Each structure stands twice: as structure tokens, then as C-alpha cells.
């Protein structure tokens, strides 16, 4: 059965290797079942329901990717997009997270339609590489700011906007120690280092009496508070065009980059660097976003952590299926997820930001017309506390700089339209 579904022999792998690779992938990304409910609950969503939605969305996405596309890629609600959902979109619309879920659903539908047409490839190719790198780094900086705030390292200030927090408190000290331990563990290639750090900091907090232990395992919480609660009619009528576009753009760019990176690492690419069944993989990813919105979570996307499973020998969808089944098994861990304090997830957020910031190394530093807009994008996202505003300012600056520098030939129709659209939006704010 496994051979018929996944063509194991053709990919030079075995059932045992794929299962071990799936377990490895799960351990590297299971932190999301603790972090995602913590972030979305800040937007007023029910913690337990979001926990269940996170597990089920990750399971559904991974199973579809494995069974339909036969790709060694696992999925879960994406970091960065969940922060944009909770801290930008929901506050912008008066705290109504149902509207935000409607926006996620619509972006998933558009992504699915694009995946079934050549439009996806045209959109991805139309965004300059420098801006793609800037967007990736900017989202990382956004996560870092949230993580430092959760840890108590950064605090607000009426004059300077931000300032150094009070470091000599137990939670902040534990968060800083956790970050150091996480980086060291990752350097030593410890499997599941992120998840181990979150659980380790939580365990110390419980032992010191800083955090009550709600339990380890129990019957999963009810999904009812978030299931099918998206407000589609409101999202369509509430001026959600820009928000849906940002959800869509970030999801498309993130998914494309992840699939290409993991697919090439797994040796799936042909001589021209093209991947087989890429359209199926895109359909699987966009379908997961739709399912996640119905369940009650922010955009579900392909995880670059799948590269850890590929490194362990994973080559087929059986790896993704294994990870998906483990996410289903995680449903009983709701009390443990509720025990995890925000400062225990802070090291993970800051560390992921460090990984995402590496994209800036790929910039063409000799061409200031490329690097300046990319850096504006990367800096504007955290400083405006909005991924949408950061992308908008980046695209506008890219178009303006190219025009004034006499490099109008570097602009394409898509960038020009996006820049004009963001200019209109910012002017009407």
C-alpha cells in the first residue's frame, strides 16, 4: 500500500526512514501548537479552540500534501501571518477576529484559484527578489519584537516609544536563558530544540512556582468557539482588499520558497530546477489555508522545518503523513499548552526571527536601488507594527527610487499597480 501511494522505491527510501523523518519534522515544528494559541488568544479568540484548530489544520494540511502531492513537506499555521492576524488585522477592525478569519478564508480561495492557473507563477515572478528578501526579514523582525515584548526585554515608553524592560524578574531571566540554550542546542543539531526549549522553560517556571501546572493531557477542548465562525459577508464589505492581498502575497511567497527549497534539498528538481507535481503541492497548501480558516486559525502554510525531515532521509509524502498523524495525537496536550507562559515561547519567536533575517544576505549590496527598498520594507514592518504597511512602503519606495534613478525599465506592470494601490490606500487612511 505504501509503495502504491508514495512510490518509495523510486525515491530510494523505506517506510522506516520516512516515519523517522516525519517524527523529526514534527519535533522541529510542534512548537506551533503552543505558540499559535498564545498569539491568537491575544486577539480575543478562545485558547482551547485555537489549540484544537492548530492541531487539526496542521494535520489536514500535512495529510493532503502527503497523500495528494506526495511531497515531503508538513504544514501548520504560519508564523508571521498569525502575528499579522492578531496584532494588525483584528485591531484594525475593532477586535472582530471573525472578520479576520473571513479574510484568511478568502485569501485561501484566491490562492487555490491561482494554483489552478498560471497566475500564481506570474505574481511570484513579478515581485522583485530584493523585496521578497526584505519581506522575509521584516516579518522576522516583527516576530522578534513580539518575542522581546513577551519576554519583558522590551517595554513601551511615552517618549521614546520603546525602551529596555525590567530584566531582573524571573520570567525575563528564564526567557533570556532559554534563548541562549536554544541557540546552543540548534548549533549542536539537537532534534526538536525549539520545542524542548519551550517545555524546558515552562518546567522551570512550574518548579519555581511562577506558573501553575494545568496538567499534561486530557480530552481535547471544544472547537465550537471558532469552528465556522468566519464572517465572510463582513470581510467582503469591510474594505478587506488590502488585507486579503497581504495574506495572499505572504502565503504565496512563503509557500513557493519553502517548496522550492525543500524540494531541491530532497533531490526532486530536474535539470532545469523545476519540481514535479508543483501545482498539486500548491493546491494542497491553499486548501489547508481554507480548512484552517473554517476551523478557526490564521493562514496554514508549508513549513521550512520540513528540511530537517529531508535531512533525516525523508523523500516522499509518507513523511508529511507521519507528521500529520502526530499532530492529531497532540490534541490531548491542551492542558500542557495552556500551562506554557508567554515568556517561554519568546525564545522561539526571537530565534525564528534570526533565521528569517538571513534572507538579507542574498541582497545585491552593490545596487542601492535594490537594497534601500528592501531594507525599508524590513524595517517598516516592525516599526509600523504592520506587515501590510511595511510591504506597501517597500513597494512604493522601490517604484519611486527606480523612476527617479532612471531605472524605470526595472519596473513591471505588477509592481507599478501594487505601488499605486498602496499609495491610494495610505492616502485614504
Kindly report the pTM of this predicted structure: 0.81
Q: The dihedral of CA 150, 154, 158, 160: what is its sign? A: negative
Mean of pLDDT values over 69-77: 95
CA dihedral 363, 367, 370, 371 (to 10 degrees): 60
As given in the structure block, the three cell numbers for residue 164 are: 529596555
Mean of pLDDT values over 15-34: 91
Mean of pLDDT values over 395-421: 90
Q: Which of 49-58, 130-139, 163-172, 179-188 has the lowest mean pLDDT?
A: 130-139
SS (H, E, C) 413-425: HHHHHHHHHHHHH
What is the number of other CB atoms lying within 10 angstroms of the CB of residue 271? 5
CA 254 to chain centre: 8
Tell me: the pLDDT tens digits for 91-148? 988 899 999 999 999 999 999 998 888 777 676 667 888 988 898 888 889 889 988 9
For residue 155, the cross-strand partners are: 163
- Examine the pLDDT at 428 and tell me if it is beyond 70: no
User: What does pLDDT average to over the chain?
Assistant: 90
- Examine the pLDDT at 194 and tell me if it is beyond 90: no
Q: 268 exposed, middle or buried (CB, 10 Å; 0-12, 13-18, 19+)?
A: buried
Q: Which residues contact 339 (CB under 8 A, 6 or more apart)?
A: 202, 206, 211, 212, 213, 214, 215
More confident residue, 325 or 338: 325
Give the strand pairing for 75-77 and 154-157.
Answer: unpaired
SS3 155: strand
Tell me: the pLDDT tens digits for 355-365? 888 889 989 99
Percent of the chain topping pLDDT 70 = 97
pLDDT band at 272; cut points 50, 70, 90: low
pLDDT for the residue numbered 52? 97
Residue pair 145/386 in contact (Cβ under 8 Å)? The answer is no
pLDDT band at 273; cut points 50, 70, 90: low
pLDDT for the residue numbered 179? 97
Question: What residue segments make up the domains of the chain, in order of their start?
Answer: 2-359
Amino acid at each position: 500500500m505504501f509503495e502504491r501511494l508514495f512510490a518509495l522505491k523510486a525515491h530510494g527510501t523505506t517506510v522506516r526512514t520516512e516515519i523517522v523523518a516525519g517524527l523529526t519534522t514534527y519535533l522541529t515544528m510542534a512548537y506551533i501548537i503552543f505558540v499559535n494559541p498564545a498569539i491568537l488568544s491575544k486577539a480575543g479568540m478562545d485558547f482551547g479552540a485555537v489549540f484544537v484548530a492548530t492541531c487539526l489544520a496542521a494535520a489536514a494540511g500535512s495529510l493532503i500534501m502527503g497523500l495528494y502531492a506526495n511531497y515531503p513537506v508538513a504544514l501548520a499555521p504560519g508564523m508571521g501571518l498569525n502575528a499579522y492576524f492578531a496584532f494588525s488585522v483584528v485591531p484594525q477592525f475593532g477586535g472582530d477576529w471573525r472578520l479576520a478569519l473571513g479574510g484568511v478564508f478568502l485569501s485561501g480561495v484566491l490562492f487555490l484559484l491561482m494554483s489552478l492557473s498560471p497566475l500564481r507563477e506570474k505574481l511570484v515572478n513579478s515581485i522583485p527578489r530584493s523585496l521578497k528578501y526584505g519581506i522575509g526579514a521584516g516579518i522576522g523582525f516583527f516576530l522578534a519584537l513580539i518575542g522581546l515584548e513577551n519576554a519583558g526585554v522590551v517595554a513601551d515608553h511615552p517618549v521614546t516609544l520603546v525602551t529596555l524592560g525590567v530584566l531582573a524578574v524571573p520570567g525575563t531571566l528564564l526567557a533570556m536563558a532559554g534563548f541562549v540554550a536554544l541557540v546552543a542546542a540548534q548549533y549542536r543539531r539537537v532534534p526538536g530544540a525549539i520545542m524542548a526549549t519551550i517545555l524546558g522553560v515552562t518546567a522551570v517556571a512550574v518548579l519555581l512556582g511562577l506558573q501553575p501546572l494545568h496538567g499534561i493531557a486530557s480530552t481535547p477542548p471544544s472547537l465550537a468557539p471558532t469552528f465556522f465562525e468566519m464572517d465572510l459577508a463582513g470581510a467582503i464589505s469591510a474594505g478587506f482588499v488590502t488585507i486579503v492581498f497581504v495574506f495572499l502575497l505572504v502565503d504565496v511567497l512563503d509557500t513557493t520558497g519553502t517548496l522550492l527549497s525543500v524540494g531541491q534539498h530532497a533531490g526532486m528538481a530536474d535539470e532545469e530546477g523545476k519540481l514535479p507535481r508543483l501545482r498539486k503541492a500548491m493546491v494542497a497548501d491553499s486548501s489547508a489555508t481554507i480548512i484552517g480558516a473554517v476551523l478557526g486559525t490564521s493562514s496554514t502554510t508549508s513549513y521550512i522545518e520540513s528540511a530537517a525531515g529531508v535531512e533525516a532521509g525523508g523523500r516522499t509524502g509518507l513523511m508529511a503523513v507521519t507528521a500529520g498523524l502526530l499532530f492529531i495525537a497532540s490534541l490531548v496536550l491542551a492542558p500542557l499548552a495552556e500551562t506554557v507562559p508567554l515568556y517561554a515561547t519568546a525564545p522561539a519567536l526571537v530565534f525564528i526571527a534570526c533565521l528569517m533575517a538571513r534572507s538579507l544576505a542574498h541582497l545585491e549590496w552593490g545596487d542601492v536601488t535594490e537594497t534601500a527598498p528592501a531594507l525599508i520594507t524590513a524595517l517598516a514592518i516592525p516599526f509600523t507594527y504592520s506587515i501590510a504597511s511595511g510591504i506597501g512602503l517597500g513597494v512604493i519606495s522601490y517604484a519611486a527610487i527606480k523612476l527617479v534613478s532612471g531605472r524605470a525599465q526595472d519596473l513591471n506592470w505588477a509592481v507599478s499597480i501594487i505601488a499605486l494601490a498602496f499609495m491610494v490606500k495610505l492616502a485614504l487612511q
